[in-house]
Chain A
Amino acid sequence: MNKDKINFKNLILSKINRKLTLLFIIVGFVAPALAIYYFYTISIESFAVDITNDQTNLLRTIAAGILILIAIDAGFIGFLISKTISKPIKELCDATHKVDKGNYSIRLETKSCDEIGELANAFNKTTANLAKIREERQEIDRAKTEFLSITSHELRSPMTPMKAQLQMLIQEYFGKLSKDQKKSLEIIMRNADRLDNIISDFLEISRIEAARLKFNFQETDIAQIVEETIDFMKAFAKEKNIKLTTQIETLPIIEVDSGRLSQVLRNLVNNAIKFSERNSKIEISTKLDKDCILFSVRDYGCGLTYENQIRIFEPFYQVESAARRKHGGTGLGLAICRGIVESQNGNIWVESKPSKGSKFSFTIPLEPVRDIKPIKVLFSNKNTIERKIKEEFKTVLGPLGQYEFDELKNKNAIDKNELEGYINFLIEKFIISNKCGEDFKSRINKIFGNEKDIINNNYDSYSEYNKGELSI
């Protein structure tokens, strides 16, 4: 009963025009009622005594009839008036929802010059500004990638004569060198090489970020690529007497860029060799995993702490500065691997325990992704989102939250769908209550929602907006 009452109230009061119509009916009823009441009493008095009962009744009926007519009339007029007010408000409301979804090209028509017209004007101005800001941000983003690409090329040019002259000196083109001279030149050479590696990695990143990464898909026998890559890496493993073993399941022939696949594998195996002790082993395995192929590289080296596991795919993050000096490398290898794997809709992650070794895994889909999307490698906003999500985890799950979050992060499962699945799992297992879970979900969604605009700040969603522009 109570519920019905509320519904009735909602039914009337949820819409401006219904509210106003009701108000007009009431006013249209009360005002003439008062007028007629006075008119009636005054006329009764002025008719003196000889007024008959019939006449009184007639007067009363007429009065009531007039009252009802006026009320209906007032209600009708009220409905029309309120419609003119509520219609533009409804339009404004719809438009705001569209802006929320990222359609900044929407404009309201301003027919009237009253407050509502002003509001519509202000709305149009604000939306135009938002569109401008977004455009500027995209421009900055493009400029960043462009800058990276241009500077890398410009840095590379002087490397050419530098390295050429250095090599000529070392190879004694210009006469014999003393031992010390040779040593000094070798140090220069080694660092020139390192600088050059950083520059080429930067170029690679600028390609990934601008979706200019080229994939040359060909039907390939994955097993052969893996074997070839591992054979190539054996030469490096030999220096530390590390054994490389492969375990390859029978795999379907799929279309893949063998160069890129080999690049990622080489990188992971190279890292594994770097962080392995002498005389240890590295296991490389490849198998079919649902609709993708799963590659993993397992080493028995020094392993990674939680903190390191989480940050290992960040650009320039290296486990220790001492290790960096010892192992060389640019600190961009894994970030590039992530870029390559993710631009093929694959996943890359690490499982590890300090002093027990690490296992790096990545997947590639059976169907190649030809429409390459830009992936943010440098200055990605992933960190901000992840920090916020981590806070939520800690609020909901307490100290356990941190651990759970890290676990998910290691599996690279910090995306909207994966998190939703995870929260559903928590609810199923009665770890958190249903309501708590739903709240958790909506807050997580909000974090992604808030950042949506930034995440979508790439060219493919840009074309979506353009489509929106055409339809309006």
Chain B
Amino acid sequence: MSKKILVVDDEEDIRKSVQKILEINGYDVLTANDGDECLKKAEEFKPDLILLDIMMPGISIDEVVKQLKNIKIAFMSVVRISDARKRGLCSQDNIMDFFQKPFNVNDLIDRVELILNEYQT
């Protein structure tokens, strides 16, 4: 069975783009447009990986991350990883990677594959 990935971003175009990229590469993709929806869908569908935008309206990202301790997370953001680190976002064990927007499609696929394979072993 193919792996499930939840893509969370408040921008529809980004959601759709990432969804398409991942689907073509054989993943099952769900999307959510904010933190609340993300938590709800994570609970419901138990995805293998969540691609999570750092800056979204609504519930704070720290809160979202705190409640998702058992699912692998990779951040996507226009800010740099150093800024995210400064906010203390990267301290949890289940945070696997950081995709700097705009990302390279091949790079995204390679790294997602790596994360999911690591998870298996």
A-side residues, CB < 8 A to B, are 153, 156-165, 167-168, 171, 173, 196, 214, 216
Within 8 A of A (CB), among B45-94: 78-79, 82
Question: Contacts of A164 on B, CB cut-off 8 Å?
Answer: 14, 17-18, 21, 102-103, 105
- Residue on A with the closest CB to B82? A214
Question: Contacts of A173 on B, CB cut-off 8 Å?
Answer: 20-21, 24
What CA separation (Å) do A449 and B17 show in the bound complex? Answer: 56
What CA separation (Å) do A337 and B103 show in the bound complex? Answer: 25
A sample of 13 cross-chain residue pairs with beta-carbon separation below 8 angstroms, ordered by A number, consists of A153-B78, A157-B11, A159-B101, A160-B11, A160-B78, A160-B103, A163-B104, A164-B21, A168-B17, A168-B20, A173-B21, A173-B24, A214-B82
Within 8 A of A (CB), among B2-51: 11, 13-14, 16-18, 20-21, 24
B-side residues, CB < 8 A to A, are 11, 13-14, 16-18, 20-21, 24, 78-79, 82, 101-106
What CA separation (Å) do A216 and B24 show in the bound complex? Answer: 39
What CA separation (Å) do A133 and B47 show in the bound complex? Answer: 57
Query: A160 and B101: CB pair below 8 A?
Result: yes
The residue that B102 contacts in the complex, of A153, A196, A214, with Cβ under 8 A, is A196
Query: B105 and A159: CB pair below 8 A?
Result: no
Question: Contacts of B101 on A, CB cut-off 8 Å?
Answer: 156-157, 159-160
Query: A163 and B102: CB pair below 8 A?
Result: yes
Question: Contacts of A214 on B, CB cut-off 8 Å?
Answer: 82
Question: Contacts of A162 on B, CB cut-off 8 Å?
Answer: 102
Number of A-B contacts (CB under 8 A): 51
Question: Contacts of A163 on B, CB cut-off 8 Å?
Answer: 102-104
Closest Cβ–Cβ distance, residue B47 to chain A (whole Å): 20
What CA separation (Å) do A161 and B13 show in the bound complex? Answer: 6
Closest Cβ–Cβ distance, residue A374 to chain B (whole Å): 18
What CA separation (Å) do A167 and B21 show in the bound complex? Answer: 10
Query: A160 and B102: CB pair below 8 A?
Result: yes
What CA separation (Å) do A216 and B80 show in the bound complex? Answer: 14
- Residue on B with the closest CB to A214? B82
What CA separation (Å) do A214 and B80 show in the bound complex? Answer: 11
Question: Contacts of A167 on B, CB cut-off 8 Å?
Answer: 104-106
What CA separation (Å) do A270 and B20 show in the bound complex? Answer: 36
What CA separation (Å) do A161 and B11 show in the bound complex? Answer: 9
What CA separation (Å) do A167 and B17 show in the bound complex? Answer: 10
- Residue on B with the closest CB to A170? B105
Closest Cβ–Cβ distance, residue B39 to chain A (whole Å): 23
Question: Contacts of B16 on A, CB cut-off 8 Å?
Answer: 161
Closest Cβ–Cβ distance, residue A190 to chain B (whole Å): 14
Query: B78 and A171: CB pair below 8 A?
Result: no
Closest Cβ–Cβ distance, residue A397 to chain B (whole Å): 48
Tell me whether A156 and B78 are in contact in the complex, defined as CB-CB below 8 angstroms, given that A173-B20, A173-B21 are known contacts: yes
Closest Cβ–Cβ distance, residue A167 to chain B (whole Å): 4
Question: Contacts of A171 on B, CB cut-off 8 Å?
Answer: 105-106
Closest Cβ–Cβ distance, residue B86 to chain A (whole Å): 8
What CA separation (Å) do A165 and B103 show in the bound complex? Answer: 11
Query: B17 and A165: CB pair below 8 A?
Result: yes
Tell me whether A160 and B24 are in contact in the complex, defined as CB-CB below 8 angstroms, given that A167-B104, A171-B105 are known contacts: no
What CA separation (Å) do A158 and B106 show in the bound complex? Answer: 19
> 7 closest Cβ contacts across the A-B interface?
A161-B13, A164-B17, A167-B105, A160-B102, A160-B101, A163-B102, A159-B102
- Residue on A with the closest CB to B20? A168
Question: Contacts of B82 on A, CB cut-off 8 Å?
Answer: 214, 216
- Residue on B with the closest CB to A159? B102
Question: Contacts of B20 on A, CB cut-off 8 Å?
Answer: 168, 173
- Residue on A with the closest CB to B76? A160
